[in-house]
Structure 1
């Protein structure tokens, strides 16, 4: 990587644009970057880092990148031209920052921007855009450089303070630095992975052993043993635990089988005794049952025979009821026929009462039917008159409908005519409203522009008032700072003068007998000056000068603040137009009111235009309504005249046809009702004659049947009748008595029951007690056998499961042992002799490479005295080993800790370490060549001889076509290094200048 050109604008302390030509600085190979404190030397290095990575080194992140001295219109920007990976690139970056708004007050954010261009050679050479995406550019630059921002800041921008701490630090501090540079996170992840595998394998193995222990507990419960189940702590190792558990399982299986054999023998004996007792109970119960049945049969037979005479009377009563039942239907038929005749006669009488006088005089059904026929003929003649009556009603309804149409059309025509009379006035008013709304729209736009301008002037006037107050305060602060700086300068000059006055005494302190005086060269010193009581030392002078410089800087800062406030105040007053904030506020309020009024009027333009369009459409519609309504009135008036003539003709015809009735329909309804009454009376007369004949015939048949069945009169039949329920109950009593008597006689004749009755009475209770006792013994034996069988099955099943689990535990235990050994080894555990973690081991290898590369330069810088070696000795206490760093002193032949080096020795040792680390990191990054390096401070601690050695080493870097920039305050380096980049500090910002020797 080689830098060609750097441009910074409004960046850090640089207010304008500063261009740094690194190609010109590279002509000398070694150049000096110098300037006073705070001028911006480090900001140049920050700009390089910002251009490449979009951020500054870690220690300075968070500081604002924009220059406080820059004008508002100037954008902060960094442009870096470099060659990396064989490509010439130009990177432009603009950070995000807050700036004042261009209009109004307050701040707004200026967005960040990034641009990457590449130089294209050949015909038509020039810069060609590559990307403007921040992420894409960052990924491309990181890929080409092959290192992260942290690595770049450690390798290219060599910070000596960090490497001095690295040199004296412990293993943890070195591991943090090396871990950031060499990215050993993958080895740390390996450690974590191995630790995770160890925990996982231990969890798996412990879970498997827990399952074995759980199964053993279940085996003890199933076997019913009283001894305690084993635990994992009961054995020296888990394999021994599993082996003893399998042996115990075999013993418990044998014990369970022995118990099962004893239970089966007891069950067979209990079953034999139970069968014997059951057979005895069955014999006793059978004999007792036969004896009981015989006794009950004797007693039942005696009771049935005593009720035989009573049941004979019931049988006779049942037979008399059966004969009466055969005659009863004819009697019922006669009564029903008589009832029907009486009802028919009543209906006939009612129908005759509904007739008129003419109908009451008629006697027979035929005459009534003839009268009905005459009325029906009259109804037929009235059907024609009914059609005329309906036509008359339709004509009247149609006339009313047509008249309603005429009235409606006349009303619409009158309403349209009235509206059309006002049309000219309506049209003129709508046109005026539309024109006013359009004029208000134009006025709204003008007032909005005026209002925006006045509000901007008002805000500027307010800002000017506020800045005037700040300006007065800043003027007072600058005056006070100036007075303090003047007092400090007078005090410093006074201290300096007093020191010069006592310089002879200060020189006399260093005089030694025999040594030449630095002033006169004499080796004799007869009267050396004595220090005064109020002696001033160089430290006093330096303190006074520093105090003056600080106050002078504060005075300059106060002046810069006053200048910025004055510029902002002048700009605000110019923007306000010279008017006061109160005047502008009053004007803004008035314009706002006028704008609101005009805007409200302008908003009605759409409504006014729509109203005009509606009026025009309504005018056309009203004309059409007026025309159509006139035509409809004329047509409907002619139709009304035709309807009136037809109605007068029909009225004459209907008046003759309806007679005394109010209408044809009323006459038709009245005559229809009369005809229906005559028809009903004729029908009831026929029905009554037929019912009378049927009643006489039924009475004759019922009397003949009663005499034939032996009954004197129909009343005797009714007395002998029984209902169906009574007959069924009586018949059931007779049948049950006969069946029960037969069953009792048959039971007494059974030889088996007779033989049982001849034997002595048997006691079935004793046999029942014996069976219950045998049943209880059988139940107990069965439960014992079942429990033994279940226990044996459970013990066998659990033992088989235990054997499977035991086979599965062994490989898990072996895997856990392997995982534990690997995890302990990677994490520096007890099996690791040096207690060195895997990541520390990798970092130790990198540190060994760095120490070897650094020793080449350290040996030359120290005149062949010092070299660096890596040490992996085990650290004391609980600390890890592997990242020790020691220095070998060739003059004494001893090896000691790097913390014992002096200040100057620590500087060139840390410089050598930084250069060696740069070489190793570059090699690890794919061999990226680093053609431009920066070394930041530390040269002031070197003596002239050592400084020569260090510069010689740096010259070797130049010989390899590298450009090395030294950032230092040491005055001697300005004479030793002619190629320089000078940074000068001023009140309006810093500037940079490149100085290259000529000739």
Structure 2
């Protein structure tokens, strides 16, 4: 990977456009170049533009705060501090950054990042960023989509953003801190440099998993202790009581079943009677509907007779309308033909007149051509003269501006000189003000330092005392609050336990009711089964029924009639409703029970946790009280009332802080005054020399301005003469071209008019021919329609003569009925006939079914008397007797059911407890196994802060980094080699010039530290880039703090990098480096927050 060129505009302090071509001289042959300029001029903006073009982000913005610190844009909208669009220069409407590079495949690519404001206005809203990637060798745009750009660029460049900032942009300050750090700090720095945070996360996660598994084991053990089943003797007693209660309940159910069968027959009889009444009403309604359709049936007969003549009559009506329309159309065409003949004569006259005007304008143009040529020559001469005059005026104005700027700078220099004089006098007076009479500066500084240290120590002591007091107060308050919460939680815990027992009983009752409904529905379905006849036939006396278990079989000899479909559907719907109601009751009771159980478990766990927290808080309060009593100032605090202690501590700390601040202010004032006096003498001398240079330049500019003013007078006179001659030649025209253009426009307009007249003439001739043909065609069509109309009239008169009873009104009404309406009428008649037949059949079937059912129930009664009023009164007496017997049986059945339910609940509750105990033991065994597994893992790599596994993993990363760093260190200086030593993440240096003596990294000089830091930075770059060859490096830090000898070693190291075939760019403020690096990219301030960039050698 190699950077070929960098271009940017309107970014930060660089308005641009700026172009740095590393493939052109002098940068092409420069293996080492410097980026120089004052602080804040925009040197780092060049590297920001490099990252923007490639990745749309910069290292500085990546570390900026996010949503916590928005900034306001020029249009009032808010931008995040980390938004790259904030790099757009203030007042600019658009900006961009562009990089050409050689990718991992050897081809040349161009990456571009651009941003603009709405409508390209400086006050417009910032728009979305635009990014594009192009292949320069193939001249092909690869993408202009931001998301696709982020996927393609690392593929062609070979580096991600993090890898690029570690492999191409080297920040040595991190490695200087890395060398001098302890193991914990070195692990954190190495984790940051190698971007391997996952090892700390794995360590912390393993610790959390082990803690969670341990808590789960404790929770399950507590649950088993709170839910024990009954012993064996109690369980045997529950089983015996349940067996006796079920026997009593079965006997009561058999009696109730007999009454239910009698009730079902009575209900079926009422339903059959209602069915007969309903069928009779439907039969009467069907008769009425059939008689109401008498007129419709008569119309259906006429429509059937009229169907063969319908098309003939419709065609006759259509001809009655079309013949008059055809006559009107023929008259209209005749009138249009006469108008077309008149238009043809007018078009021939217009064409002749246009041809004459065209000839006249062409002659005028030919006569004016010589005069136009002469005017054009005068215009050329005048333009040349005006250009010379404008050039001299611009040069004169430029000299005037330069003179004004020079005068302003001269005045500014004088102001700075006076200001520096005043600053020197003020600093001398300020220094004297802080000294006592006859006191030396060093003595005053030492005295102030002692006062500051004493005040700081007193502030620290008061801060510790306040912390101990606050810890004791907070622990006491938490202890009081937690005791109150424990009291409330215990009451709620007991209340939840009582509600849970009640909910469990309701759930058991609902399950029992659901089972009874299911059994009842099953018996009802069995009674309606298709095989019920075979089952009844197989019944024997004293043998229980296989469906209901009864020993009495009343329907063995006289079975009930099978209900028809409507009654069957109603019965099934009622049974399903009862099942749904019972199921909903069970679900509601179970949901209530589960909610209370969850609440009970949560309260139980909360109580245990609160008790543990209470013990911890008591220990914390006791510890805080011991620390408070052991403090030196405790006796002074005890003398203050308890309510006033916080305010007393605050006043004491404020007083000590004021004393320390006063001492610190005096010490800083002494330092500022001494530091400010030193450079003022040199500044004053430089100001005097600059004033002399301004005076010399002022004199030269005045002489140059006088010379230009003398040359302007003759040029202005000659220009006016040429302008007068040209005005006389042109007359009313502005220029020769305007004159010629005016004549040519007149000719062209006349030519267009002539062509338009010819076109109009041709169209008029075509229109006349078309209308003549149309007139002939319309006459033929009219003759044919009149002939057809006469023939149809004869045929219709013959058919009407055969049917004189069909009047004209009826015929017109019947013709308005279309085929679909006729078919609908026929369908309506057929449907009414079918309903009448079906109603009569249904009435007969239902009466026969009712007679058959009553004949089976009352076999001694004749068929005629079965449906009489006397028989109906007998049926009603049966219902009254049945209601009395059911009312007597219900209390006995409810009492038996209650005894059985109580015994069943006791057995089922014990079964559930036993089941929960077995399941709880399985879950506890699984939780213990899980805890053992995670405990072993946590013992190896787990820790709450992630340090355990981080140290293990970063030790391996340190080995890789040392290996790569030693490879680069051998090329920079063969004297040193890095090794691990002293601790798991310790670093030592082997000095080969001292017989391979091991040295501490803290013993390295500034230059040696620079070499080692640079080698480690290059090693990390190799790790980040993998197998990719990096030919471009940029070093942004590390040179300002080096002494001359160390700086010489650093320059030798940079020369070594250059010799390895790398192009290295160095950002530095050190003047010695500027002198030793011939090729420089200079960023020079131009005032008003702007800088310009130039390449110098």
Q: TM-score range by the shorter chain?
A: 0.3 to 0.5
Structure of greater Rg: 1
Please report the TM-score for the alignment, with normalisation by the length of structure 1.
0.39
